């Protein structure tokens, strides 16, 4: 019988995949043969799509051609925006509004469908953010790189090369990460033959849960509350005294430092080098990181609680001009490429996902012959 602690499927293998390997003990994330720290900051997101999608779409264009096709897909998706969207979606959080808009895309299993699904989060998130600010959407530039065009559609002005490179580094680091909750949800739906749009919507619905994709924003709340580097240790100790969790530290899989955190820290430093980040903000973050790791090691010596991807995600997305309430939607903009790849892999190589459950409810009640059970 399944132990009650097994209800999270810990240690259960549900898929064989060529897409990514998460080695929690060694602190490694490998995307189809490439360590994430080797490609983050060097590859564009479009290059990672070409890597993840190979063998799943035939024929798959070269990365440069795929980038152009993705640009055209952004322009196609923008035609789905309506004049009354701002009024209808104004009160929804960005990820909820983006999910509602994403449902306008038809299902399918071909490359054009996949490209529209990758294009949709950036087009819709940008439109929602501008609508909340009382501004009209900025239409996509089909010739622009994906990350740069996203930032331009949000702000209404061209992104700097450093800003686009920083966002690309983020999108690459979160493109795929094993069989996490949202990816598993996408694979379950894909296994039914429902189509890529249905699988992506399932993944997005799982990602918006606060235990999965909702943590980067509160990292900034923590930094704002601390305020200065010399207050970090005192503030963090008080938070731990109250039994609070320190946002941006610890991970369910990694038993050592999250490799994505180092990749994003490097990208943030590169952005700071060209003046794209306030120096004091970076200094505060590094002071908080040092103090938090010291406090956690002293208080919880039996647990490994290292910096995770959320800590430097928050700082990087803030630095490129994205508001914290949109961070989960931006996470989806990166992870959608992985959801699509997993959905296609499941359809091609897997079968209907149908695990067993163990019934632990009350035994069936026996009823005398000729009588019926009471209506309840």
Four-point Cα dihedral 57, 58, 61, 63, nearest 10: 40
Q: At what angle do helices 327-349 and 181-191 cross, to 10 degrees?
A: 40
Catalytic residue among 46, 251, 318, 342: 251
Beta pairing class for 34-35 and 28-31: antiparallel
Token duo for residue 354: 């149908």
Catalytic residue among 289, 306, 310, 345: 310
Mapping DSSP to helix (H, G, I), strand (E, B) and coil, where does residue 104 land?
Answer: coil
- Hey, how many other C-beta atoms are within 10 angstroms of the C-beta on 323? 16
CA distance 336 to 120: 10
Residue from 264, 11, 21, 46 nearest 144 by CA: 46
Active site residue 146: no
- Hey, how many other C-beta atoms are within 10 angstroms of the C-beta on 266? 15
Active site residue 310: yes
Mapping DSSP to helix (H, G, I), strand (E, B) and coil, where does residue 21 land?
Answer: strand
CA distance 220 to 285: 9
- In sequence order, what E strands does 10-103 have? 20-23, 28-31, 34-35
Kind and range of the H or E run holding 234? helix 232-241
CA distance 227 to 359: 51
Cβ-in-10-Å burial (0-12, 13-18, 19+) of 1 comes to exposed
Say if residues 342 and 17 touch (Cβ distance below 8 Å).
yes
Active site residues: 251, 310
């Amino acid at each position: 019988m399944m132990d009650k602690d097994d209800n999270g499927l810990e240690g259960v293998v549900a898929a064989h995949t060529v897409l990514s390997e998460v080695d929690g003990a060694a602190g490694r994330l490998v995307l189809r043969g490439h360590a994430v720290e080797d490609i983050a900051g060097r590859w564009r997101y479009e290059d990672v799509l070409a890597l993840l999608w190979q063998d799943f779409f035939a024929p798959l264009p070269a990365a440069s051609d795929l980038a152009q096709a993705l640009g055209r897909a952004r322009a196609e998706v923008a035609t789905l925006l309506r004049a009354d969207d701002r009024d209808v979606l104004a009160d929804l959080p960005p990820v909820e509004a983006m999910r509602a808009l994403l449902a306008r895309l038809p299902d399918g299993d071909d490359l054009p469908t996949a490209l529209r699904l990758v294009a949709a989060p950036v087009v819709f998130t940008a439109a929602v953010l501008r609508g909340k600010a009382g501004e009209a959407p900025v239409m996509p530039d089909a010739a622009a790189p994906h990350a740069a065009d996203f930032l331009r559609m949000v702000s209404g002005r061209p992104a700097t090369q450093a800003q686009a490179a920083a966002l690309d580094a983020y999108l690459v680091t979160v493109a795929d990460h094993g069989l996490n909750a949202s990816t598993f949800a996408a694979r379950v739906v894909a296994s039914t033959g429902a189509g890529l749009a249905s699988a992506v919507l399932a993944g997005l619905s799982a990602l918006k849960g606060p235990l999965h994709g909702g943590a980067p924003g509160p990292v900034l709340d923590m930094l704002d509350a601390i305020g200065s580097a010399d207050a970090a240790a005192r503030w963090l100790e008080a938070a731990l005294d109250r039994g609070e969790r320190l946002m941006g530290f610890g991970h369910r899989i990694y038993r050592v430092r999250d490799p994505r955190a180092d990749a994003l820290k490097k990208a943030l430093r590169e952005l700071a080098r060209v003046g794209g980040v306030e120096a004091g903000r970076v200094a505060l973050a590094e002071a908080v990181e040092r103090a938090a790791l010291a406090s956690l090691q002293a208080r919880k010596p039996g647990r490994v609680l290292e910096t995770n991807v959320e800590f430097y995600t928050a700082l990087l997305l803030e630095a490129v001009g994205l508001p914290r309430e949109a961070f989960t939607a931006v996470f989806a903009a990166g992870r959608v490429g992985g959801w699509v790849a997993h959905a296609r892999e499941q359809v091609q190589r897997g079968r209907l996902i149908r695990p067993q459950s163990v019934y632990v409810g009350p035994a069936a009640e026996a009823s005398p012959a000729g009588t019926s059970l009471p209506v309840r």
